[in-house]
Amino acid sequence: MELKKAVGKRIKELRSKLKYTQAELAEKVGIASKHQSCIETGKNFPSAELLEKYALVLNINVLDLLNIQYNKSVSQMKSEIKDLLEKANDKDVIIIYKFCLSLLK
């Protein structure tokens, strides 16, 4: 499952547990309902700032928000991350760097 879809599914699961509608969660995090729908279906990926807002509203930390199960070993994931970074352009590397900093602090 690709990351955008996995994160969207996780947000939907957490939203449903709290019995929020998409519109209610969207309002709480400050985005349009349509954008919320696109995130939950994996069409869009939330920014690091939006992930922090989700975590606050859903009363969890960002790492719990990103607690997605994969059928790969950590060493496989590290290797894939290295490969992806090699292919990324400078702008994407900067975004990835900021995202990693926000997760690991």
Residue 62 has a pLDDT of 87
Q: Distance (Å, rounded) from C-alpha 3 to C-alpha 96?
A: 13
pTM score: 0.65
The answer to whether 53 and 61 are in contact (CB under 8 A) is: no
Ramachandran bin of 59, using left for φ above 0, alpha for ψ from -120 to 50, beta for the remaining angles: left
Tokens of 97: 């760097």
Helix (H) or strand (E) holding 42: none
1-44 tens-digit pLDDT: 588 888 999 999 999 999 999 999 999 999 999 999 999 999 99
